[in-house]
Chains A and B, each alone.
Chain A
């Protein structure tokens, strides 16, 4: 362990860490606009410079490893001046318009400029030319605000292996974006929004649905219904300075009512419904394969995550039959609301306005898919990210911390704990197993709290096996069968899993994929920043929510039973098929 001195504190630090990390371990914060946790540093922004004794120039602390006897100073005039200079140079070509920027008050560049005490920009740079790319349903890019830190390039290429964004051209002319400065819609982009999640400034943001939601709420002819995804309750608090991992389900419900939504419901409800449909689909496929010896598409891949769907349509069209035909819970909700509920309320589907609050940007794209109109009209009218809901609550003048805890409305606000865990990696698989295991054996999933330890946590790819014993009569063909299961999150990891299946190296029965690292709790629409530390806290909160519920299994949800009894018929039945299932289309990969 090398011994270093940093701002007169001498201590031992782990071998191989960088000066940046050593400073942080010592309780010294070094600013950075480009660093991304657990990725190879790029050294692009130059604001993390420090003084190292014996080095002629200041060094970028993020790219400099510690060495024995190193003497580091992070707070000298020379360092402060250099950081200020770097930020002033960035600002001189940054076409920011802070007051009207989406990131006003949450911008890393803005707060760093304040922190460094920049009161004057000493350079008149040529401001980057503004070209706003609004070609996609989910994301807006503005090159004029881009500071070329390349975090989005890491997110798009290394985490997601999609490759829509890459540095184009060179030097001052560098643009971060698609090939030849095309629009995002002209290349393969899955609209996951991980780029927007890591952007330090307002160069990549979500397409705002705030105004259309306010308009709907102001329209007396509309019945406005809202659904909130499970991941939102574990992160919305961060918009109001609560620490990550604070559950705000009750306050969120109260806020939505005060904003004027007529019915406050839960995407959890249709997560439970997804488990019934997707679980039955899986068991049907397995039965066909085992009993009827038919050729069926196995493994079955989950289909809740719209970025993953976009990814498969472009990169692995040959595996589209393996995707569960189940719509995502968001779209199931829209279809059920505009048929079952609208009938109940005596309004026409076109008079109902369905808003969803999602941790996700790709959900905006999903809601706009032309096939998502099972009710005859668009099933989900507007999709707000967690961040957008936070803004709307502020715009409404609601003092969030003072709100009471309220319960969601019946029937579509009733859900099990199995639905909550849809929010994190491993959760959909666990929820499915809780139900499937009981269906097959009549017994509860035999784990502590029904948690499948092997597939929880932030490991990128998690495999497990489950041997089925004690089956009920009609499932006896599964007696002694070992189900092979795998869970992956982040599309780079998903790619590895699909490649392994493709090459025949691995065989699975059921595969859960979530587009974003950590699952939906780490989605592209979540409050910034999302680090592994934050992901863990949000996941803990979700498990608390799950464990705190009396209902822990999707099939125990009484309102789900009622929905089938009163309306849908039976799982995978004709109406269920029409409203709850979909199909996929191969897309050109560019």
Chain B
């Protein structure tokens, strides 16, 4: 699992702007012993993902090794080291969602979008990820699209759920 993708994604870079963004985060926040995860969250919110330059900057500022910072990033599915789409679709595969068909929902989404878990559509509109319990087991199976929660999702309905997002994108494209 060599992250060649990651290296490739970072070559296209705008390193300076990444460093500026990171410096801003460090200026705006008090840094303490346990700052790594909050800083990573803020960095991902700003950049949309965590490029290696950002991680190197964070590691140096927090006096940690890149290996440790990358280890934390790799552990949490929330963090992504590759650019993600405008809408991140997270399919819950926690126990309740799994037994109530989460996997089928995921397959349907993969088929519909033409991507697999961890990938982003070519137009950078959708990314597909898996989550482990969103705390909404009573509504299983659940998916989230950015902050929006969709409950009792049926595989056949995924197209319907995605339609408004696609429409919005098409309209914005047209305006451009």
Q: Which one of A129, A131, A168, A173 contacts B71 once the chains associate, using CB atoms below 8 Å?
A: A168
Interface 1/0 per residue, A178-196 and B, CB below 8 Å? 1111000001100000000
Residue picked from A168, A178, A187, most chain B C-beta under 10 Å: A168
Residues of the A chain whose Cβ atoms lie less than 8 Å from the Cβ of B65: 157, 162-164, 166, 179, 187-188, 590
| A-B Cβ contacts below 8 A, count | 59
Minimum distance in angstroms from B51 CB to a CB of chain A = 11
User: B147 in the interface, Cβ–Cβ < 8 Å?
Assistant: no
> Are the C-beta atoms of A179 and B66 separated by less than 8 Å?
yes
Interface check A170, CB cutoff 8 A: yes
Distance (whole angstroms) from the CB of A376 to the closest CB of chain B: 38
Interface residue B148 (Cβ < 8 Å from any Cβ of A): no
Inter-subunit contact B75/A170 (CB<8 Å):
yes
Q: Mark B1-40, 1 if CB is under 8 A from A, else 0.
A: 1110011000000000000000000000000000000000
Chain B contacts of A187 at CB under 8 A? 65-67
With A169-B74, A175-B1 given, is the CB distance from A163 to B68 under 8 Å? Answer: yes
Can you give 7 A-B contacts (C-beta < 8 A)? A157-B65, A157-B68, A165-B67, A166-B65, A170-B74, A179-B70, A187-B66
Interface size classification for chain B: 20 to 34
Is residue A496 contacting chain B, with contact meaning CB distance below 8 A? no
- Nearest to B7 among chain A residues (CB) is A180
With contact pairs A175-B1, A180-B3, A180-B6 given, residues A166 and B68 touching in the complex (Cβ less than 8 Å): yes
Residue in contact with A166 in the complex, picked from B1, B71, B77, CB distance below 8 Å: B71
CA distance A166 to B55 in the complex (A): 15
List chain B residues, Cβ under 8 A from A590: 56, 65-66
Q: Does A589 count as interface, using CB distance less than 8 angstroms?
A: yes
- Per the bound structure, the CA–CA distance linking A489 and B64 in Å amounts to 21
Closest 5 CB pairs of A and B: A163-B65, A179-B70, A166-B71, A166-B67, A179-B66
Q: Which residues of chain B have C-beta atoms less than 8 A from A131's C-beta? A: 2
Most buried by A among B2, B6, B55, B66: B66
Chain B residues 94-133 with CB under 8 Å of chain A are none
Say whether A167 faces chain B, with CB atoms less than 8 Å apart: yes
What 0/1 pattern do residues 579 to 590 of A give for CB contact below 8 A with B? Answer: 000000000011
Asked if B143 is at the interface (CB within 8 A of a chain A CB), the reply is no
> Is B60 an interface position by the 8 A CB rule?
yes
Q: Helix, strand, loop or mixed for chain B's interface?
A: helix
B92 within 8 A of A: no
Nearest-neighbour CB distance to chain B for A464, whole angstroms, equals: 30
Give, as a whole number of angstroms, the nearest-CB distance from B105 to chain A. 21
Least Cβ–Cβ distance between B31 and chain A, in angstroms: 18
Among A129, A165, A166, A181, contact of B3 (Cβ-Cβ < 8 Å): A181
Pair B74/A168 contact, Cβ less than 8 Å: yes
Q: Within 8 Å CB of A157, what residues of B?
A: 65, 68
B91 CB contacts on chain A under 8 angstroms: none
A457 vs chain B, min Cβ distance (A): 30
- A170 CA to B77 CA in the complex, in Å? 9
Report the minimal beta-carbon distance from A179 to chain B, rounded to whole angstroms: 3
A177: chain B residues at CB < 8 Å are 67
Measured in the bound complex, the distance between the Cα atoms of B67 and A168 in whole Å is 8
Query: Can you name the residue of chain B whose Cβ is closest to the Cβ of A180?
Result: B3
What's the Cα separation between A179 and B66 when bound, in Å? 6
- Please report the C-alpha to C-alpha distance between residue A270 and residue B60 in the assembled complex, in whole angstroms: 39
Residue of B nearest to A183 (CB): B2
Knowing that A164-B65, A179-B67 touch, tell me 13 more A-B residue pairs with CB under 8 angstroms.
Answer: A131-B2, A157-B65, A157-B68, A163-B64, A164-B67, A166-B71, A168-B74, A169-B1, A169-B74, A169-B75, A179-B65, A179-B70, A590-B65
A179 touches B69 (CB 8 A): yes
Is A178 touching B75 in the complex (CB atoms < 8 A)?
no
A166–B6 CA distance with the chains assembled, in angstroms? 18
Taken together as a complex, chains A and B put the C-alpha atoms of A162 and B75 apart, in Å, by: 20
Residue in contact with A181 in the complex, picked from B1, B60, B66, CB distance below 8 Å:
B1
- Is there contact, CB below 8 Å, between A178 and B67? yes
Nearest CB of chain A from residue B1's CB, rounded to whole Å: 6
A179 x B55 contact (CB < 8 A): yes
Within the assembled complex, what's the spacing in Å between the Cα atoms of A180 and B81?
A: 10
- Please tell me if the beta carbons of B75 and A181 are within 8 angstroms of each other in the complex: no
Say whether B52 faces chain A, with CB atoms less than 8 Å apart: yes
Considering only residues 168-221 of chain A, those with a C-beta below 8 Å from chain B are: 168-170, 173, 175, 177-181, 187-188
Contacts of A589 in B (CB 8 A): 60
